[in-house]
Structure 1
C-alpha cells in the first residue's frame, strides 16, 4: 500500500542531494475536493475597549483554493528555504520544480474537484473566535480576525497591507497577535511563518521604510507560538475520538487501536534539535490521559519523501503491519492539524484508509468548526492578552544546531516587543 506522493516521484527525477533535503510538506501537492474560500465578514463592534482594537492573525501554511492557484502555491512553497532548503540553487531549482509539477498537480485537483478547505476553516475559526473574545475580553475589543498563509492567498504580505489599510500601524499604532495554527512548534512551520511576518514588518514598517532608529506608531506584536497541551485542544481531540469509537460494535470497541498521525520531519531537522517531535508527543499523551488510557495507541508519522532518513514509524507502514498481524480495527487521528487539508482528505482518507480495504479502519473527524476547539482558541488568546507576554519563554531559545541568522533576528524582534506591551 505504497503512497503515490507526487514529491516521491519527483525525487526520482531530481538530483538525490535535492530530494534528500525536502521538508515536511510533500503531501501538500496531493489533490483535494473543491471548497469555496469565503471571506469571513468583519466583526461588528459597538465600542472600543481601553486596550483595543486588537488584530488576531491566524498563521498557517495554506493551500490553493482553486486549480488556477496551484502554480503560485508551488512556486511560493519551493522558494521557502526554511521549509525546503536547496542552498545556492534555491532560486533556480525552486521554480524549475514548481513549473514541472504544476500540470500534474492541477489535474489531480481537477479530478477531485479542486481547492483546499484550509482557508474556509481558518477564516471561520478566526471570525468565531473573535466573537467570543469580544465578550470575554472587552478591554481589548474590538478583535478583528485576519489570516496569513505562507504559500497561498492571503499571503503574509497581503495580510500586513490589509492591517495597515484597516488602521493598524504605519504611524497609527495598534496591537496585533500572531496566533500560530500549528499547536506544536517547528522551525519548518511556525518558525517559517514568523520569519516571513518579521520580514514584511521590516519592509512595511521598519527602519528601511523611515530611516528612523525605531519608527513611531508601528504595530505592537505579540506571538502565541505553541499550545500543545491546552485543555481545550485536548478535549476537542478526545471528544472526536470518542465519537468515532462509538461507531464500532460494543464487542470490538475496547480493542480498537488509536494511531495518532502527524507530519514527519527529516532526521536532519530532528537532530538539529527541533522541538516538534516532543511537543506532538506531549499532545498525544495528554489526549490519552483524558481518555483514561483505555486503548492501545501509538504516535506515527506521515508524508515521508526522498531517500534520506525521516522520523518514523510511518503511518502507512504501521497500518500495513497491523493488518498483517490481524488487527483491522484502528482509528487514525490527525493530531498536528487544526482543520482538514490534503494530509487528511487525500493521504489518510484516500491512500491509507481507502487502499487498506478494511471497514474497521477509520479516521477521527478533524477539528474544523468544532465549538469546543473554537472556544479553546478564544481561551488561549484571552490568556495570552491578559498575561502581557510578547511570546513564550521557549520561543527565545534557538535549536541547538541552528545556524540561521534570519531565525536569530526574527526571534530577537518578537522577544523585543515585550517592552512595548
Structure 2
C-alpha cells in the first residue's frame, strides 16, 4: 500500500508534547497526574499499518447556515426518527418548520455545534497514544464521519480513498462509534450509512458467473472492523465519575450527600424500544457502573431528553423530572449527560439554557447544575486508546453482540450491513453469527 499520503498527514498532526513514561495496555486506574499526550517520534509504518481510526457520531451543524441540511438528513433517517410510510413527506415538512427555531438555538450557543471540534481533537489525541503504544499498526490516522453534518460519511470515505486506502491498495480501517451505548437509531444508523457508501465507492466484483454465490470482494479493498459499544468500560466510567465529583464539590460539604444525581440520555421512540433496541439497558448499565464507582454516594435517577413529535417516547423526560423535583423542594440536582461524549446542542442549550433556566424560574436558586461533558478529558482520551488497542489486539471484526439484530427488526439494510461487517474476518477464523 502507498503510505506517502497517510505519513504526510501524520507529520502534520504531530505536535511537541511530553512522552508517556511507560507503555501499558492495562487500564490505568490512577489519574491524579494524567500523562501528557505523546509526540509522534517515528515516521515508520508498522507491519500492520497504516490504520485509519474513524470516529462515528451524529454530528452537528458547525454554523447556523448548516442547520437546514442537518435537519433534512436527520428527519429523513427512519433509523433515528421512524415516521412510517410518510417519512419522505413528513421528514422534509418537519425539518422546514423546525429550522428557524433550531437556528436560533445554535446562535444562542455561539453560532454552531462544537461536536466536530471535540471529535477531531479526541480522535487525533487518541491516535498519538496508539502510535506510541501499538507501533505495529502505526501510523494511526484520525478521521471523523458524521451521520447528519459535515464531514459526512461519504466525505470521510472519499478522503480514505484519496489518502491511499482501498481501490486496490488495501489497508485497515476501524469504525469506532462515539455512542458508548448501542442503539439501532445511532450506531446502527451510522454503520448502515458506512456500509452504503462502501458499496457505492468500493463495490465488490460482480464478474462471477455463479449467481448462487455472493460477489467476491475485490483484492485491495479496505478491511473494516467495528467498535460498536463500550457502555461500562472502566475508563469511561472513571471519566464520568471524576466530572460528577467535581460538580458535587461545588455544593457545601454538609449538603453533598443529599444532592440528587440525574443521569440524562437522549430518548428513543417507544416503537424503537418495543422492537427490542438494547440502548435503554446499556445506558442503565453505564449509570450503574458510574454509581458503583462513586460508592453509591448519592441518590440518583435516569431520565431521558430530546423528545421530538407527538408519538410516545421513552421517559421520564429530563425537563419534567427536574421541574417535579424542584416543586417538591429538592433543589440540589446535578445533571449528567451520560450518553454524550462531548458538548453539543443537547447539553449547551437544552440542559443549560432550558432545563436549568426553567428550574431557576421555579425557585431552584442556581442549585440545579450540570456536570462537565467529557470533551478534552485526558481520562476519557486514555480510555478511547485502551478501547482501540483492545479491539486491535483481539483480531475480531465486530463484537458478538453486534450480529444479534433486534427481535422485531425487519430491516433488510440492517441485515446486509451486519453481514458485511461481521464477515470481514481480519484475523478471525469463523464468520460472525448474524441473526
TM-score, normalised via structure 1 length:
0.87
Secondary structure of the residue aligned to 2:424 is helix
Residue matched to 1:257 = 260
- What RMSD, in angstroms, separates the aligned Cα atoms of the two structures? 1.7
Conservation of the 8 A alpha-carbon contact between 2:51 and 2:173: yes
Q: Tell me the alpha carbon deviations over residues 308-359 of structure 1, each in whole angstroms, 9 at most, x when there is no partner.
A: 3221121111111111221111100000000000111111111111221122
Written as runs of structure 1 = structure 2, the 5 A alignment for 1:153-172 is 153-172=150-169
Query: Residue 134 of structure 1 corresponds to which residue in structure 2?
Result: 131
- How many pairs were matched up? 382
Aligned pairs for 1:19-418 (under 5 A) are 42-43=13-14, 45-207=42-204, 213-357=216-360, 358=364, 359-418=366-425
Classify 1:253/1:196 alpha carbon distance in 2 versus 1 (closer, same or farther; 3 Å): same
Partner deviation per Cα, 1:33-77 (whole Å, 9 max, x = no partner): xxxxxxx95356510011000000000000000011111111111
Structure 2: gaps (5+ residues): 1-10, 15-39, 209-214, 429-435
* CA displacement, residues 65-112 of structure 1 (integer Å, 9 cap, x when unaligned): 001111111111122121122333333332333233323433443344
Measure, in 2, the Cα distance between the counterparts of 1:319 and 1:164: 48
Q: Is the 8 A contact 2:395 2:426 kept in 1?
A: no
Relative to structure 1, the CA distance from residue 326 to residue 100 in structure 2 (aligned partners, 3 Å threshold; closer, same or farther) is closer
The alpha carbon displacement at 1:208 in A equals 6.9
Deviation larger for 259-268 or 399-408: 259-268
In structure 1, how many angstroms separate the alpha carbons of the residues matched to 2:384 and 2:106?
31
Contact in 2 for aligned 1:220/1:420 (Cα 8 Å): no
C-alpha distance in 1 between matches for 2:183 and 2:73: 19
Q: Distance in 2 between matches of 1:108 and 1:331?
A: 23
Give the Cα–Cα distance (whole angstroms) in 2 for the partners of residues 209 and 233 of structure 1. Answer: 43
How far residue 264 of structure 1 moved from its aligned partner, in angstroms, is: 1.1
Is the CA contact (8 Å cut-off) linking 1:220 and 1:417 kept in structure 2? yes
What secondary structure is seen at the aligned counterpart in 2 of 1:260? strand
Q: Is the 8 A contact 1:55 1:176 kept in 2?
A: yes
Higher mean alpha-carbon deviation, 161-170 vs 205-214, is at 205-214
1:144 & 1:78 partners in 2: Cα distance? Answer: 31
1:359-384 Cα distance to aligned partner (Å, 9 max, x none): 21110000000000000000000000
Distance 1:342 1:57 in 2: 22
- Cα distance in 2 for residues equivalent to 1:131 and 1:365: 24
Q: Provide the TM-score with structure 2 as the length reference.
A: 0.85
